[in-house]
Amino acid sequence: MAVPKKKTSKSKRNMRRSHHALSSPVYAEDKTTGEFVRPHHVCLKTGMYKGQQIIEPAE
């Protein structure tokens, strides 16, 4: 069984974990309505995606 030869320092451990932080979600402004929408998602207000009607708009 593999066993570490030396203790990993707090600095090395935390540098490895530096990429584990959560990033905030990205939003883009819809060209037609001005609403903020996630990229590659259907706009729930209009039901449009890439200029095509995908679902019926919410009331």
Per-residue pLDDT of 19-38, as tens digits, reads 999 998 899 888 878 889 89
Per-domain residue ranges for the chain?
A: 26-59
- Number of helical (H) and strand (E) elements in the chain, helices listed first: 1, 4
Structure tokens that stand for 43 in this block: 């706009």
pTM: 0.54
Tell me how far CA of residue 52 lies from CA of 28, 47, 55, 56, 59, in angstroms.
18, 8, 9, 11, 19
pLDDT in tens, 38-51: 999 988 888 888 88
Say how many C-beta atoms besides its own lie within 10 A of residue 11's C-beta: 8
